Amino acid sequence: MSAARDGTSVRAASADDREALEPILPAFLHPPYKRGRFLRALDGGEVVVAQDAGEIVGFMWCNEFFGHTFVNVLAVAHERRRRGYAGLLLEHAESHALTDRVFTSTNASNAPMHAVLARYGWRRCGEVGDLDPGDPEIIYVKYPPPEAGASDGRFPPGTSSSG
């Protein structure tokens, strides 16, 4: 499935989306301190949601990493995976990048995320050990086409974008 199709969109998330996001939240966001950080990010405008026909099917939490956009969390509802929603969200990060590149990371053991990143043209650019002993964090980068990047110093945008 192509990430761009009728009925899909990405928009800024709001506190009103919390209930719809609950079943999509990855397990690693369940501990109270991580959940608190996520809720502050949601309230602070760092989270966007993917919708299909008005239903929230995934979300992305981005923040700043050494002056660049960093995709901190990308999640799609289990029953909606492999339909292009991750690509829709990643394309949104690319089109609203703070600079000429966007970064993300995932554990070496997260084969599904490695496959998503490969599918959408992300390149492995580094590794950090000892964050999760025995399961290094793999860093990825994507250089969107120059016309894609907003480079206006803000993420996410306050307006909705269709994908």
> In sequence order, what are the beta bridge partners of 161?
10
Per-residue pLDDT in tens (0 to 9) along the chain, 163 residues: 334 467 899 999 999 999 999 999 888 888 899 999 999 999 999 999 999 999 999 999 999 999 999 999 999 999 999 999 999 999 999 999 999 999 999 999 999 999 999 999 999 999 999 999 999 999 999 998 876 554 444 444 433 334 4
- The strand pair at 47-52 and 137-142 is best described as unpaired
Give the containing element (helix H, strand E) for 65.
strand 55-65
CB 67 within 8 A of CB 99: yes
In angstroms, the CA 160 to CA 75 distance is 19
pTM above 0.95, yes or no: no
Position 5 scores a pLDDT of: 62
**Is omega for the bond preceding 156 within 30 degrees of 0, making it cis?**
yes
Task: For residue 82, give the amino acid letter.
Answer: R
For residue 86, how many other CB atoms are within 10 A of its CB?
25
Report pLDDT digits (tens) over 26-71. Answer: 888 888 999 999 999 999 999 999 999 999 999 999 999 999 999 9
With CA atoms as reference, report the closest residue to 50 among 86, 80, 10: 10
Task: Determine the topology of domain 8-162 in CATH.
Answer: Aminopeptidase (3.40.630)
Domain ranges, ordered by start, for the chain: 8-162
For residue 5, how many other CB atoms are within 10 A of its CB?
13
Position 147 scores a pLDDT of: 67
